[in-house]
Amino acid sequence: MVLSNSPITFWAGYAKFKSNIRPSSRVSPPPSGPLPSVPIAVGCRSLVFELQHTVQLRSSVPPMADASAQQSSRSRDLDKLLLRPGHLVGPAFEPGTELRDDLQEYARILVVGAGGLGCELLKDLALSGFRNLEVIDMDRIEVSNLNRQFLFRLEDVGKPKAEVAAKRVMERVSGVNIVPHFCRIEEKELEFYSEFSIIVLGLDSIEARSYINAVACGFLEYDNNDNPREETMKPMVDGGTEGFKGHARVILPGTTPCFECTIWLFPPQVKFPLCTLAETPRTAAHCIEYAHLIKWDEAHIGKTFDPDNPEHMQWVYSEAAKRAELFGIPGVTYTLTQGVVKNIIPAIASTNAIISAACALETLKIASGCSKTLSNYLTYNGVEGLHTKVTEFVRDKDCLVCGPGIFIELDTSVTLKMFIDQLEDHPKLLMSGASVSYRGKNLYLKAPPVLEEMTRSNLSIPLLNLMDKSPNGIVHVTGTAGKGDKRQSCSRKLRVSFKGVGGITDTDMAGGA
């Protein structure tokens, strides 16, 4: 892959999209101009570009043209996937116009993040026939976003990303409705997330992914044979990019590994030893981290550093520059300071386009069954030439977040103490000295003594009462489990159900992780 071509690709894409915003614009030629110089980008985006092209044709239809003709023109390429049978389709695929209409009417997609991936995702999903989209993002638009977050203009700087992105795509793609949410993902109730058919992630942090994963897996229920109930499964499609590298993955909780099952895939963050920063800085990054981690606290007692405050960043930059001069180290710039402090990796527009096209396609596949879904983790590397691979990762059977846990049925009179004693004899657990928590409340902690004392009084209380009289729920236990030499400490998830309460003993929440 010729790297120098990438900017051309993205400027070409950017300009084209922009020019088409104007309703009066002429139909642009098919996107075959500068694009083939980067074959991968063209290939990956083919579906989306084809759809985009369809929309361009649609806009050329005179306003008085027959509505149905418009409709068929608009979905011409999508129809090739949705109306015709095929041998690569999903098992329950039923092609037909009803499927297309249902996708428009009933599929509700949440896009998490309205940044580099989010902009692409909204555009791709809107052009793939989804009509009900929502987007959530807590950030405002910055000048440095404009090179790749193509829904934003210079005059949008400072406005919420979610709101502008939703507005721009709605202006551009008729019929699509996008509801923006300008807030943190943690601010929304669980009910908010439960409303969606599929959650698509365009995020840049492990924390945020981990949170959404816990929420989505929390909806999953298992039947008494430890099989996931399909109707409670909340599929996720996760995209991620770092420079010329990216991944797209499909998470079907209970079926494919969840984010926590494979969290070890993420390389540890590079951290410099503090003493190196303080004593023997060798690189520009060392100088910046010194100013950020050590010098800031010295100079601003009690005031926390805010990476989004330009004054704070400027202060760190100037301190870093002074230190770099002292040690004769070149290369400290304001941009690098931002990069090091906020852990920013340069984003490449074409990588975002490729990854989001893959994610949008998977979303369409999950929803419609028009093709079997990716199984289950696609990696893309465009650093040198091109490498792409699909790996089928496996679930962690004991995953505390998405796993079924161990089913335990109890009498309503069982106290916490009796419950803990029962765990010792449970054939699947054989757990002694258990500590117990329920929905973030620590019911009993065996150790350390200070916590044992605080929780001891719960031991004589019926577990049902401690679980807010809920007929069933997820309880986490930690203790020493197993037999003989294999005894080891572990955490386990339990699906607790009480006999004869609420009339439902066969429905067991898997979530609560």
Chain mean position to CA 346: 20
User: Is the Cβ–Cβ distance between 340 and 292 less than 8 Å?
Assistant: yes
Q: Which of 151, 215, 288, 340 binds other proteins (CB under 8 A)?
A: 215
d(CA 81, CA 36): 24
Q: What sign has the CA pseudo-torsion 300, 303, 305, 308? A: negative
**Minimum distance from residue 140 beta carbon to other proteins (Å):** 24
Residue 66 near other proteins by CB under 8 A: no
**Minimum distance from residue 426 beta carbon to other proteins (Å):** 18
Catalytic residue selected from 183, 217, 261, 275: 275
d(CA 47, CA 354): 11
151-157 contact pairs (CB < 8 A, 24+): 151/119, 151/122, 151/123, 152/119
Q: Which of 106, 142, 143, 465 binds other proteins (CB under 8 A)?
A: 106
Window 175 to 214, contacts with other proteins (CB under 8 A):
189-191, 194, 197-198, 206-207, 210-211, 214
> For other proteins, which is the closer residue by CB, 448 or 484?
448
Q: What are phi and psi of 282, to 5 degrees?
A: -120, -20
Window 25 to 64, contacts with other proteins (CB under 8 A):
40, 43-44, 46-47
d(CA 249, CA 251): 6
Window 118 to 177, contacts with other proteins (CB under 8 A):
none
Question: What is the crossing angle of helices 6-21 and 349-368, to 10°?
Answer: 60
**Minimum distance from residue 362 beta carbon to other proteins (Å):** 8
> For other proteins, which is the closer residue by CB, 355 or 414?
355
Largest CA distance in the chain: 80
> For other proteins, which is the closer residue by CB, 160 or 257?
257
Burial of 449 (0-12, 13-18, 19+ CB in 10 A): exposed
Window 420 to 449, contacts with other proteins (CB under 8 A):
435, 437, 439-442, 445-448
d(CA 456, CA 416): 10
> For other proteins, which is the closer residue by CB, 151 or 481?
481
Q: Examine the residue annotation and report whether 275 is marked as an active-site residue of this protein.
A: yes
> For other proteins, which is the closer residue by CB, 122 or 477?
477
Which segment (3-11, 53-61, 416-424, 470-478) binds other proteins by CB under 8 A?
A: 470-478
Q: 177: which residues sit within 8 A by CB, 6+ positions away?
A: 131, 132, 133, 170
Window 324 to 353, contacts with other proteins (CB under 8 A):
none
Q: Between 283 and 302, how does the x/- string for binding to other proteins read (CB under 8 A)?
A: ----------xx--xx----
Instruction: Please state whether the peptide bond connecting residue 376 to the residue before it is cis, i.e. omega within 30 degrees of 0.
Output: yes
> For other proteins, which is the closer residue by CB, 194 or 309?
194
Window 366 to 385, contacts with other proteins (CB under 8 A):
366-369, 371-376, 378
**Minimum distance from residue 401 beta carbon to other proteins (Å):** 6
Window 487 to 506, contacts with other proteins (CB under 8 A):
489-491
Window 227 to 266, contacts with other proteins (CB under 8 A):
230-231, 233, 235, 250, 252, 255-256, 260, 263-264, 266
d(CA 508, CA 224): 8
Size of the site for other proteins (CB under 8 A): 99
How many C-beta atoms lie closer than 10 Å to residue 343's C-beta?
12
The residues assigned a catalytic role are 275
